[in-house]
Structure 1
């Protein structure tokens, strides 16, 4: 028997499946690099190796998918911010320990800085242009409510702040921008999961299971970030244990779990946007 679906429903299904697929894509690419014996201190360090194109491409796809989800809820506003942060994570690489970083121990290697500057400027430009277009469309479509204006304002402020940071202190920006974007990204995702646990769900057992799943994701991400920070501060990685790699892997897995849960929850909704 053929099940009838709406075009909107199919679009939302594909977008959510694409988010899950892109997350798995990163995991597989990084896993293959680790399997052949390549030492990786973190998932982000894959930017410099064979998994680099997959890492950048998957995060770009995740950013586009997050922006493609319609709605005017707090959750959607946060995910719009997360989309911009995902682009920053993709194109502003983490530092690595190489022999050309003296007098510092870690840096963004000189041979990739031109690409980072080019890509970073392109990302900032398209984000600001997108904010302008989003504002115009919201005005024309009559959806320019307070939430939309606030979301656009936050995105513009973050982008201008990043530009100012890069201009005033380029070395500090290159050294810290990736980590700041990554931590903020996962905090935002945890907030979205917490909101999803709090908002109303269909009745019965399913409601309780959904709340527990979303709540577990939110708590899991925050706990992972806290433990990761403790591990870095206490020097737990000095003994050879890949603290950052494990922490990022758990956070990425929880991100994937969130989208699996939400995809299952909203699979049969005729207009399964995030809560309006």
Structure 2
């Protein structure tokens, strides 16, 4: 049976969401396989495996996850800004290597790293050019859509994430999205300035900056979803401590608690040189759990707002808001 356009769009949306989880787990699988290869030896961070045979999976996994986060449009402007920022920082983490970990010296003899600076220069310049082309392409397509809408008023422009077809937008979310945008732009501008004027400093610090800010962006996405689900279930006027207690706030709280516990364990000398590795594993697994929960929640709907609107209008849960297509791909009556 020929697939309808609406069904194809829905399936693409679902595959994009589903693909993100195994791509995340690629990082852990590659590290586990390389650690057990030959004489077992564990490095102090996932990033350190850039300098091992796991490099391809490390770079490819981060690039694929970053692309998924950027392409996916969040439930609201704040989530979208944080996803885009975290996705772009994943590219930087992949392309700018961390320092060599010598903990497994017997397994990984001294390497010739003379090309590291040239590799960073080439890779980051490539990323900047590709990003500029992507931004230009999006701008051209938006301008084309506006010209078409001006010529044919009956056509509707595609809405940006979080934009409402009706009533009043959530001003608080819009304000936080603007603030987050400025903070993200400031971080990106600082990274760009280092790359252009202090390349050696960029090579030494940008990996850490990108990794930390990417994690903060991920935590922000979880908090934004905790707030968004609370608003959807209780209304924007919801208040009190329990209004925010839901699956996303619990995942975020557990992740932060585990990160804090890891830091305490490190200070007590219980983790040896593996603090960064433990933190990375906690973040990856926590985000995979969060993404799986969000995928289950929004399986039939592009945004939480669409789901709430469908439920309030009496449309059965499971009916797709893409032209209200049934699961068989035919318009619902």
Q: TM-score, normalised on structure 2?
A: 0.66
1:265 equivalent among 297, 309, 314: 297
1:216 equivalent among 234, 250, 261: 250
Judge conservation of contact 2:229–2:246 (CA < 8 Å) in 1: no
Matched position secondary structure for 1:200: helix
Q: Structure 2 matches for 1:1-276, cutoff 5 A?
A: 6-36=7-37, 37-70=40-73, 73-97=77-101, 109-141=113-145, 157-200=186-229, 212-226=246-260, 234=267, 236=269, 240-269=272-301, 272-273=302-303
Q: Number of residue pairs matched?
A: 257
Q: 1:165 to 1:85 in 2, by over 3 A?
A: same
- Once the two structures are overlaid, the 10-residue window that deviates more, 166-175 or 153-162, is 153-162
Determine which structure has greater relative contact order: mean sequence separation of CA pairs < 8 Å that are 6+ residues apart, divided by chain length. Answer: 1
Q: 1:74 to 1:241 in 2, by over 3 A?
A: same
Separation of aligned partners in 2, 1:109 and 1:230: 34
Separation of aligned partners in 1, 2:210 and 2:127: 13
Matched position secondary structure for 1:185: helix
- CA deviation profile, 1:150-173 (whole Å, cap 9, x unmatched): 888766654443221123332322
Q: Report the structure, 1 or 2, having the larger helix content.
A: 1
Judge conservation of contact 2:263–2:275 (CA < 8 Å) in 1: no
Separation of aligned partners in 2, 1:274 and 1:53: 36
Judge conservation of contact 1:187–1:221 (CA < 8 Å) in 2: no
Q: 1:251 to 1:151 in 2, by over 3 A?
A: closer
Judge conservation of contact 1:224–1:251 (CA < 8 Å) in 2: no
Separation of aligned partners in 1, 2:259 and 2:197: 29
Structure 1 partner of 2:321: none
Matched position secondary structure for 2:115: helix
Q: 1:151 to 1:133 in 2, by over 3 A?
A: farther
Separation of aligned partners in 1, 2:218 and 2:245: 15
Q: 1:141 to 1:223 in 2, by over 3 A?
A: farther
Matched position secondary structure for 1:40: coil
Structure 1 partner of 2:320: none
Separation of aligned partners in 2, 1:74 and 1:12: 20
Q: CA deviation at 1:220?
A: 3.5
Judge conservation of contact 1:128–1:156 (CA < 8 Å) in 2: no
Q: CA deviation at 1:265?
A: 0.9
- CA deviation profile, 1:53-86 (whole Å, cap 9, x unmatched): 0010011111111122135522112101111111
Structure 1 or 2, whichever has the larger Rg, is 2
Separation of aligned partners in 1, 2:251 and 2:291: 10
CA RMSD of aligned residues (A): 3.4
